[in-house]
Amino acid sequence: MSKELDAKLKTALDESRLLILGAQVLFGFAFQGVFQELFRDVSPAGHSLQCAALVLLCGSVGLLIAPSMYHRIACNGQSRHRALHVATSLTGWSLLPLTLGLGASAFVVFDFLAGPEFGVAAGAGLAAIGLGLLFGLGMVLRRKAKPLPPESVTPLKSKIEQLLTEARVIIPGGQALLGFQFVAALTRSFQALPGWMQSVHATGLLAVALSVLLLMTPASLHRLAYHGEDDPQFFHIGSALVIAAVLPLALGIAADISVVLYIVSEDARSAIAIGTAAFVSLLTAWYGFPLWHRGAGHGAA
């Protein structure tokens, strides 16, 4: 039954959307925190864990977006068993860096407010609770999976619903960053950066703004041009817009990772190297992995 498989895949995408909304606040704090005037008074351990939280949350957001790109690129928007397996696996793995990033962020704040002992207790405690709720409870109540319904041609209506859901999954990653990028440009910490690093931030801001606009376009296009009706042309245009949107998003995330790491370490070479590694990693997860599976024929299996 195609409808049953369509529904299962849409539920998986909705769950990714819910989780990425939870990661959104932490992701924004990891970027914006270093621009605050009092961040200079944070301990060296807090500086290191702020960078660790940024990298961990970048990984979590990357894993949460990857299933949408896999479905869009490897499966051409068709509901496939492999798309559901990838969504389940990557969403599960995203919870580990998410909970560790929560713990690291909590340490930074409570170490500053009450000292390192309280910071360790708060950070470790929240991470442990998160792991228990997000992993432990699921493992304890885990049941044997039922056989998946057979694959068939996905109706256009379901494909468009999934397309719009995938745009909603991806856009919080850009929203979390874009607002903070605008605010950061008006801080004293930003004005103290060298001109070339300010240009890196400006490039990242423009890239994320473009990504958000590309992700918003399918909804407006569907309503204004097609009056909300299911149309094959809209599906192809919308798919192209969503696939294109994650390229500038990856560039924007990588650019500001470099800026944040430079502020903390004042080591331009390391900051650029880690930002470049983040860019390559995101492109691999969002484009390379789906394209490889598509070329190998796994997406249609």
Q: Are 215 and 174 in contact (CB under 8 A)?
A: yes
Task: List C-alpha distances in Å: 263 to 36, 87, 112, 232, 258.
Answer: 11, 35, 18, 48, 9
- Tell me the mean pLDDT in the region 10-24: 87
Kindly tell me if the per-residue pLDDT of 1 is higher than 70.
no
Q: What token pair was written down for 144?
A: 């044997």
Tell me the percentage of the chain whose pLDDT exceeds 70: 97
> How does residue 237 score in pLDDT terms, banded at 50, 70 and 90?
very high
pLDDT in tens, 18-76: 888 888 888 888 888 899 888 989 999 999 999 999 999 999 999 999 999 999 999 99
What is the model's pTM? Answer: 0.92
> Residue 46: what pLDDT?
93
Alpha carbon distance 205, 8 (integer Å): 36
At position 211, the amino acid (one-letter code) is S
**Residue 265 pLDDT > 50, yes or no?**
yes
Between the CA atoms of 131, 137, 139 and 140, what dihedral angle is there, to the nearest 10 degrees?
140
pLDDT at position 301, please? Answer: 42
